[in-house]
A and B are shown apart, each in its own frame.
Chain A
């Protein structure tokens, strides 16, 4: 059972709730550092380390952190890990550190980290939380590497520094510059919209699928990136917690129905064969 839970968390972060492709969280670093596949991978792995460790610690301390001051507590924990990681990078990978620059300390305000702390680690035991962090981090790394690779191939003809495009290919420089990031993300969200529409037409629940901070910032706040520092609301009246609980309940329902659908789908396919 426990094994199942861990693999389920990893799978969930990598595919089902991929932070970039499905939830559309943490778009600032996604756009800024994906000028090459290597930078994307570096940023993804750095974020993964911070996410996994902060999830673990927050989950261990969840009984002791009062509900009212949980956001500042989360921020302090996350910021401590970011500082540690930054110092380690400065010492052992200085080239990556200079390439990522100010975006390393800015991991503190990455929506994904506060969002996972708020919606998963604060309500779940340490081990699943750790693997939730690793899964989400892996999903983020894969997404950043893919986006970085696409931009690098289109913009320079290289990937991870190896030249792979045919000799006649003229690199479209704009893709490694700032505007290219917006264009790639626009294409990505358009694809996401198309998939979402198809899924909705089939009657699947797509409420979880975000699209690049589409809605107002208020919904971004629900996911944890813009939140009041000190929540004066009583815990039972706190909309965020209630919402998280509701969404969890909904999630489990959705999972059950999806599992059933998948099973029936598999049966249909096999009968077709």
Chain B
């Protein structure tokens, strides 16, 4: 897959990264927040918004650093170290900046930001962008689409969990096992999207 040249490419990338190879349900990245913060639709949506924000920003920054620092100096083998440090520092800076500059946005996203600091999805997107030779623009679109897929999945799961709360579930399957089964069924449903492309 090359960089985006037409609207068709853009659409294929958006659908492919958000639905077909969904970040949690087919790649298993970002499982911790997916399972941990999906009890209520409202918090799940907040988490999703924070993830979209951070991943889009992180893939832009990682893309710029890769192209203008790592490639010119021929130190691309340091990508893992550089990306993880940059992402972790970036999240913390964003948190401080939002607290100072846009308190209303901080109110909405602030609690979720520290949870994403070393989320594997963020690093995963940055590394995938490099592996697939995406340019900076394409990388950002890919990051946004991946995060969108995460948000879709976590909101759906939260909706199901809200409904499931009062169901009669076998004693040992209460809590996490039933959530994992739900996620498995959702993964089957998302398998259906692979026919789209």
Question: A191 contacts which chain B residues (CB < 8 A)?
Answer: 172
The answer to whether B175 touches A214, judged by C-beta atoms less than 8 angstroms apart, is: yes
Within residues 98 to 153 of chain A, which ones have a CB less than 8 A from any CB in chain B? 101-102, 105-106, 108-109, 111, 114
A211 to B191 Cα, complex, angstroms: 26
The answer to whether A226 touches B81, judged by C-beta atoms less than 8 angstroms apart, is: no
The answer to whether B184 touches A186, judged by C-beta atoms less than 8 angstroms apart, is: yes
Given contacts A179-B188, A182-B180, contact A226 B115 (CB under 8 A): yes
B19 → chain A, closest Cβ, in Å?
Answer: 13
A186 to B184 Cα, complex, angstroms: 9
The answer to whether A220 touches B88, judged by C-beta atoms less than 8 angstroms apart, is: no
Number of contacts between A and B (CB, 8 Å)? 154
The answer to whether B29 touches A213, judged by C-beta atoms less than 8 angstroms apart, is: no
Residues of A within 8 A of B (CB-CB), count? 55
Closest to A191 in B: B172
The answer to whether A178 touches B114, judged by C-beta atoms less than 8 angstroms apart, is: no
A182 to B173 Cα, complex, angstroms: 13
From A177, A217, A227, residue with most partner B Cβ within 10 Å: A217
Q: A27-B31, A83-B81 are in contact. List 13 more A-B contacts (CB 8 A).
A: A32-B29, A83-B78, A83-B80, A177-B191, A180-B184, A186-B173, A186-B181, A189-B176, A211-B175, A211-B176, A214-B175, A217-B36, A229-B88
Question: B26 contacts which chain A residues (CB < 8 A)?
Answer: 178
Q: What is the interface of chain B mostly: helix, strand, loop, or mixed? A: helix
Tell me which of B62-70, B98-106, B119-127, B133-141 binds A.
B119-127
The answer to whether B187 touches A102, judged by C-beta atoms less than 8 angstroms apart, is: no
Question: A242 contacts which chain B residues (CB < 8 A)?
Answer: none
Closest to A30 in B: B28
B176 → chain A, closest Cβ, in Å?
Answer: 4
Within residues 118 to 155 of chain B, which ones have a CB less than 8 A from any CB in chain A? 118-120, 123-124, 127-128, 131
A220 to B33 Cα, complex, angstroms: 9
The answer to whether B81 touches A80, judged by C-beta atoms less than 8 angstroms apart, is: yes
Question: A226 contacts which chain B residues (CB < 8 A)?
Answer: 32, 114-119
State which size class the interface on B falls in.
35 or more
The answer to whether B118 touches A109, judged by C-beta atoms less than 8 angstroms apart, is: yes
Taking the complex as formed, is B25 at the interface, i.e. its CB lies under 8 A from any CB of chain A?
A: yes
A86 → chain B, closest Cβ, in Å?
Answer: 7
- Report which of B25, B30, B120, B180 forms a contact with A212, defined as CB distance below 8 A: B180
From B91, B116, B118, residue with most partner A Cβ within 10 Å: B118
Using CB atoms and an 8 Å cutoff, list the residues of chain B in contact with chain A: 25-33, 35-37, 77-81, 84-85, 88-89, 91-92, 114-120, 123-124, 127-128, 131, 171-178, 180-181, 183-185, 187-188, 191
From B30, B33, B84, B181, residue with most partner A Cβ within 10 Å: B84
A177 to B28 Cα, complex, angstroms: 12
Closest to A87 in B: B77
A87 to B78 Cα, complex, angstroms: 11
What are 10 A-B interface contacts by the 8 Å CB criterion?
A31-B31, A79-B80, A101-B131, A102-B131, A109-B84, A109-B120, A186-B178, A193-B173, A211-B176, A213-B31
A94 → chain B, closest Cβ, in Å?
Answer: 15
Within residues 31 to 85 of chain A, which ones have a CB less than 8 A from any CB in chain B? 31-32, 72, 75-76, 79-80, 82-83
A185 to B128 Cα, complex, angstroms: 26
Closest to A29 in B: B28
Question: A221 contacts which chain B residues (CB < 8 A)?
Answer: 114-115
Given contacts A83-B80, A226-B116, A229-B88, contact A189 B177 (CB under 8 A): yes
Question: B85 contacts which chain A residues (CB < 8 A)?
Answer: 72, 75-76, 79
